[in-house]
Amino acid sequence: MGGLAQRLFAAAGDGNLAALQACLAAGASPQAVHPYGQGVTPLHLAAGSGHADCVAALLAAGARVGAATEDGGTALHEASRWGCPDCIATLLAAGARPSATDVRRQTPLHVAACNNHAAVLRLLLAAAPATALLRNESGRTPLQEALHFAAVDAARCLLEESCPQAHAAAVLHRSADEAARLVRRLQPADQSIVLPVCTCVLHAACLFHTFFAHAPFWPALHACS
């Protein structure tokens, strides 16, 4: 990678807008691909680092909003992973697709959900509410991903903003039931490691019982107590 491109990547990652604009003016390509970054572009770096002004400058200079890394991740995936709402808004305004999937069929919603970024989820859901029901290669929707990682804020956001009640009730019931079965299988020596994780998953599921009058997953919780 030449010196000019190297400076462009450094400016994008550091959020140095003046240096980034100088590199672009000197002829650096906004489509440059980092040779050691598995297809990472300056747009990926700027979006994942939360530098919305650099994201806007790169897009204005011709960076492809949907450019993907070798594993299929877009700049929208990166901004979702690291919780950068301003970058999300800038990318969406430029036409980024919330339904884009990486090699694991993860959408930006899945990525934001497992990392517990509720503010990012709200922006993505407002742009494309139907993506709340897309499944990754593990068969999980964003809500299931949030519960799998005990991402409470993300799960609450998904329940409040978009998830059909039937899907949400089924997911929460299954999450609590699976956690209950795990508790029953634990050996005493395992409990110091596994039980806190299991309890966290149960807590994430049961926090939302008020969304459903019949609270179908409470029996599973009581079975663990």
Domains of the chain: 1-69 (1.25.40.20)
27's CB contacts (< 8 A; 6+ apart) are 4
How far is C-alpha 164 from the geometric centre of its chain's CA atoms?
20
Prediction pTM value: 0.79
The tens-digit pLDDT sequence of the chain (225 residues) is 568 999 999 999 999 999 999 999 999 999 999 877 789 999 999 999 999 999 999 999 999 999 999 999 999 999 999 999 999 999 999 999 999 999 999 999 999 999 999 999 999 999 999 999 899 999 999 988 888 887 888 988 888 776 656 566 666 666 666 555 555 555 555 445 444 445 555 554 555 444 443 344 434 434 433
